[in-house]
């Protein structure tokens, strides 16, 4: 298939000096938001005890462990700002992302041992489930850096139980293992109760000499046999037992290496644990990249930083989607699928790091007087019409057949509405796209360039497609809401306005509420809100987007569950005609 | 050489960023048309000088109306 992929159609143009001049403010505004995000990321990094204090105890921090473990330049953090339960610690207390270890992609997650010795906090199990789902979707190893003191007992009611509570990740570990996906764990520190299961549920355990894992730790063992109340005698007894168990906590290496053999390996130094993980990662199941690459990897022909000038921060401003895509894909080349049909949707085959990926995005410009063909009004990009929906249904279905991972690039105001749109079957075609995605069983990722709105956010590979969506990235320009705040205010209060008017009452109180609602929508759609609440898995600087695309493509092709030989691909033949 | 800059769609001139006599550079944004809740920026196709501006902010324009004329 070399003739198809070695040299595809070039697209995109060099930015001219006039455009550069006109977009300086946009660039500065986006970078200012990125700086605000960076401040928050740094705050998470600095949470808990300072690094020096942890190091003085002879321990590395989770960040130092990650730095040592992950191949340089490959770390793509996820969920850094995720804190859906608004923990005072400012974090769910796990740090995770995708990175290479010994040249192989893995999903990597570690407890932040600077914060309450890596305790379970509210929202953490949901974070971990996103991570186990990611490993499952990409079919790549999950690597844990366990250092978990167990539940933050003063808030246990928020996370201990429930369908997706703190015990659920243990079932997910079992699920991954049953699917043949290895879960490796480096284990440090004291890991009682929940921490014990965090340690025992992975596939192979690499232990540091000072670690322990146990059904119950010092605190629990010291406090067994409740007497109904506490008094001075009880306190003295607790003190005595605590001293005894603290000297030799349950489940140390002498038990779980020498007696049970749960620990496969024990290492003297912290870094040796990580070396052990690296050594195993060398042998994890993976195809060499040449097995799946369709061409040599190449950088885009245009600088990625152009994207700061191409994507307007103003959500009403139209732009040229193709120019953005040309800054993200190898050689700025593609094979576009049905370019003369459904002009509001871009669909095409591109290369990322030499791997074939399918890209689907929203074109933004005016679509002309004769489109959509079913209506007497002109179409505007960003919205979805009949042809665009049909095109996406076809393209996704063919990608599933050809086993081509999909990158969705979303910036949509939603579907066309009104009786003409209903007659044109948009509702059925939209749910048809959901059906098409669901039957593919291929990894997808979403890059939310700007607006994620209405049902289009669901349909176009959004996180709600969570059997397929590996992760969703936001940008400084991203905003997510069911509809624009002003639209929501009209929808909520229009009848009230009519009533007040007819009753001869003043409209100002209603208008005030409308403005408040619109403002509230704006604040609850901003990138930091989206990241904190998990509406996106990470806010990524525009300059780093390609790095994430490379991680996605590399991981998706590392050990895919099924193969379509390149010479059996049908989609490039259909495009060629 | 003179070039006419045409409106690509029906709409209202939302922002006007140039006046006659201004020097402009290729691909510079000179005005914005608002239509269908969206703002469409208009760029000049070449370096040059604005000879004439035929619209004002707030004007309604039709597709293919001449917005401005530029001398290359």
Tens of pLDDT, residues A269-311:
999 999 999 999 999 999 999 999 999 999 999 999 999 999 9
Same domain, A518 and A556: no
Q: How far is CA A524 from the centre of its chain?
A: 19
Angstroms from A484 CA to nearest CA on chain B = 11
3-state secondary structure of A94: strand
Using the 8-state DSSP alphabet, how is residue A483 labeled?
S
If asked whether residues A112 and A159 sit together in one domain, one would say: yes
Task: Give chain A's domain count.
Answer: 3
Query: Does one domain contain both A379 and A315?
Result: yes
Which residues on adjacent β-strands are paired with residue A136? none
Same domain, A277 and A355: no
Interchain CB distance below 8 Å, A16 and B35? no
Chain B residues in contact with A370 (beta carbon < 8 A): none
Model confidence at A118: pLDDT above 80: yes
- Only one residue has tokens 């670690």, namely A211
- State whether A18 and B38 contact (CB < 8 Å): no
In a domain, A271, yes or no: yes
Instruction: Check pLDDT > 70 for residue A220.
Output: no
Would the pLDDT of A526 be above 80? yes
Contact criterion met (CB < 8 Å) for A18 and B35 = no
Which of A16, A23, A316 minimises the CB distance to B37?
Answer: A316
Q: Are B70 and B2 in contact (CB under 8 A)?
A: yes
A140 phi, psi to nearest 5 deg: -125, 155
Best of B6, B16, B24, B38 to disrupt the A interface (most A CBs within 10 Å) is: B38
What ipTM did this prediction achieve?
0.96
pLDDT digits over A127-169, tens only? Answer: 999 999 999 999 999 999 999 999 999 999 999 999 999 999 9
- Tally the C-alpha atoms within 13 A of residue A555's C-alpha that lie toward its C-beta: 33
Is residue A171 scored above 70 in pLDDT? yes
Supply the pTM of this predicted model. 0.95
Angle (CA) A315 A320 A323, round 5°: 125
Residues of A in Cβ contact (< 8 Å) with B31: none
Of the residues A229, A260, A281, the one at which a domain ends: A281
Domain contains A18 = no
Domain that holds residue A552: 289-478+536-576
Identify whether residues A516 and A425 lie together within a single domain.
no
Q: Using a pLDDT cut of 90, give the percent of chain A over it.
A: 93
pLDDT digits (tens, 9 = 90+) for A1-41: 899 999 999 999 999 999 999 999 999 999 999 999 999 99
Distance from CA of A510 to the nearest CA of B (A): 23
**DSSP tag of A202:** S
pLDDT, chain A, mean: 95
* A343-385 pLDDT tens trace: 999 999 999 999 999 999 999 999 999 999 999 999 999 999 9
- Residues A517, A448, single domain; the answer is no
State the pLDDT at residue A229: 79
Residue B45 CA to residue B47 CA, distance in Å, equals 7
Q: State the Rg of chain A over Cα.
A: 26
Q: Coil, strand or helix: which one is A549? A: helix
**Of A115, A121, A251, the residue nearest A196 (C-alpha):** A251
Locus of tokens 């140039």: B18
* A392 shares its domain with A497: no
User: Closest Cα of chain A to B45: distance in Å?
Assistant: 10
| Residues in A lying within 8 Å of B, measured between beta carbons | 15-19, 21-23, 314, 316-318, 364-366, 369, 378, 380, 382, 413
Residue-wise pLDDT for B55-68, tens only, equals 999 999 999 999 99
Residues in A closer than 8 angstroms to B68, CB to CB, are none
Q: For position A310, which CATH number holds?
A: 3.90.226.10
Q: Domain extents for chain B?
A: 2-71
Contact B69, B1 (CB under 8 A): no
List chain A residues with CB under 8 Å of B63: 369
Query: Is the pLDDT reported for residue A527 higher than 90?
Result: yes
Residue A224 has pLDDT above 70, yes or no: no
Task: Please tell me which residue, A240 or A513, carries the higher pLDDT value.
Answer: A513
Residues of B with CB under 8 A from a CB of A: 8-10, 24-29, 32, 34-41, 43-44, 47, 63
- pLDDT mean over A212-228: 73
Nearest chain B Cα to A484, which residue? B37
The per-residue pLDDT for A241 is 76
A318 interaction partners in chain B (CB closer than 8 Å): 38-41
Contact A317 B38 (CB under 8 A): yes
By 3-state DSSP, what share of chain A in percent is helix, strand and coil, each rounded to 5? 40, 20, 40
Tell me: pLDDT of A414 over 80: yes
Q: Are residues A421 and A467 in the same domain?
A: yes
Same domain, A293 and A440: yes
Task: Encode pLDDT of A61-91 as tens digits.
Answer: 999 999 999 999 999 999 999 999 999 999 9
Q: Residues A433, A513: one domain?
A: no
pLDDT higher than 80, residue A225: no
User: How far does CA A173 lie from the centroid of its chain?
Assistant: 19
Contact A551, A77 (CB under 8 A): no
Grade residue A242 by pLDDT with cuts at 50, 70 and 90. Answer: confident
pLDDT of amino acid A14: 98
Instruction: Give residue B3's region: left, alpha or beta (phi > 0; psi -120 to 50).
Output: beta
Q: In this structure, what are the phi and psi dihedrals at residue A560, rounded to the nearest 5 degrees?
A: -65, 155
Q: Has residue A84 been placed in a domain? A: yes
The answer to whether residues A426 and A568 belong to one domain is yes
The stretch A502-525 carries a mean pLDDT of 96
For the cut 80, the answer to whether the pLDDT of residue A247 exceeds it is no
The CATH code of domain B2-71 reads 2.40.50.100
Q: Do B35 and A366 touch (CB under 8 A)?
A: yes
CB A426 within 8 A of CB A389: yes
Number of helices (H), then strands (E), belonging to chain A: the values are 24, 20
Q: Return the pLDDT at A219.
A: 67
Considering the domain architecture, whether residues A432 and A458 belong to the same structural domain is answered as yes
CA angle at A140 for the pair A181 and A349, rounded to the nearest 5°: 135
pLDDT for residue A212 = 95
Q: Do A316 and B41 touch (CB under 8 A)?
A: no
Residue A384 lies in a domain: yes
What pLDDT score was predicted for residue A234? Answer: 79
């Amino acid at each position: 298939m070399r003739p198809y992929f070695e040299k595809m159609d070039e697209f995109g143009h060099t930015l001219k000096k006039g455009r550069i001049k006109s977009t300086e403010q946009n660039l500065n505004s986006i970078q200012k938001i990125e700086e605000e995000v960076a401040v928050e990321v740094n705050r998470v990094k600095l949470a808990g005890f300072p690094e020096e204090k942890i190091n003085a105890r002879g321990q590395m921090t989770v960040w130092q462990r990650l730095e040592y473990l992950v191949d340089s330049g490959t770390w793509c953090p996820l969920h850094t700002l995720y804190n859906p339960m608004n923990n005072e610690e400012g974090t769910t207390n796990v740090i995770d992302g995708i990175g290479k270890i010994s040249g192989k992609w893995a999903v990597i997650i570690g407890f932040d041992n600077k914060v309450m010795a890596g305790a379970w906090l509210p929202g953490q199990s949901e974070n971990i489930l996103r991570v186990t789902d990611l490993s499952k979707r990409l079919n790549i190893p999950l690597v844990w850096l366990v250092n978990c003191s167990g539940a933050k007992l003063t808030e246990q009611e928020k996370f201990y139980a429930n369908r997706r509570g703190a015990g659920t990740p243990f079932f997910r570990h079992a699920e991954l293992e049953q699917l043949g996906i290895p879960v490796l764990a480096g284990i440090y520190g004291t890991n009682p109760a929940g921490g014990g299961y965090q340690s025992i549920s992975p596939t192979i355990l690499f232990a540091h000499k000072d670690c322990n894992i146990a059904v119950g730790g010092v605190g629990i063992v010291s406090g067994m046999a409740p007497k109904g109340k506490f008094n001075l005698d009880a306190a003295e007894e607790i003190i005595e037992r605590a001293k005894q168990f603290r000297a030799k906590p349950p489940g140390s290496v002498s038990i779980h290496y020498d007696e049970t053999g749960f620990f496969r390996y024990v290492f003297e130094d912290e870094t040796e644990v990580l070396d052990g993980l690296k050594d195993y990662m060398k042998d994890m199941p993976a195809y060499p990249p040449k097995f799946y690459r369709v061409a040599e990897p190449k950088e885009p022909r245009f600088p990625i930083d152009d994207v700061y000038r191409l994507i307007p921060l103003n959500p009403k401003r139209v732009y040229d989607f193709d120019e953005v895509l040309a800054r993200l894909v190898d050689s700025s080349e593609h094979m576009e699928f049905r370019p003369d049909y459904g002009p509001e949707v871009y669909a095409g085959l591109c290369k990322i790091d030499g791997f074939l990926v399918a890209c689907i995005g929203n074109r933004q410009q005016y679509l002309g007087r004769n489109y959509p063909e079913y209506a007497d009004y002109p179409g505007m990009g960003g919205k979805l019409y009949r042809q665009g929906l049909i095109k996406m249904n076809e393209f996704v279905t063919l990608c599933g057949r050809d086993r081509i991972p999909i990158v969705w690039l979303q910036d949509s105001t939603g579907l066309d509405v009104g009786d003409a749109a209903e007659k044109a079957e948009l509702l059925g075609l939209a749910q048809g796209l959901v059906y098409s995605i669901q039957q593919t069983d291929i990894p997808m990722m979403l890059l939310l360039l700007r607006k994620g709105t209405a049902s289009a956010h669901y349909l176009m590979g959004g996180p709600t497609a969570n059997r397929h969506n590996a992760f969703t990235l936001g940008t400084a320009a991203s905003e997510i809401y069911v509809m624009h705040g002003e639209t929501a205010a009209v929808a909520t209060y229009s009848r009230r306005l009519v009533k007040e008017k007819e009753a001869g009452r003043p409209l100002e109180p209603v208008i005030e509420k409308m403005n408040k609602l619109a403002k509230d929508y704006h604040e609850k759609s901003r990138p930091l809100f989206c990241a904190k609440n998990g509406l996106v898995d990470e806010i990524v600087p525009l300059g780093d987007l390609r790095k994430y695309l490379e991680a996605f493509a590399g991981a998706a092709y590392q050990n895919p569950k099924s193969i379509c030989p390149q010479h059996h691909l049908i989609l490039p033949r259909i495009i060629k005609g | 050489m003179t070039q006419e800059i045409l409106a690509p769609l029906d709409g209202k001139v939302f922002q006007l960023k140039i006046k006659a006599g201004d020097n402009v550079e290729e691909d510079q944004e000179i005005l914005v048309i608002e239509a269908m809740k969206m703002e469409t920026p208009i760029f000049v196709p070449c370096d040059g000088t604005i000879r004439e501006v035929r619209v004002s902010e707030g004007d309604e324009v039709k597709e293919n109306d001449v917005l401005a004329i530029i001398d290359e």
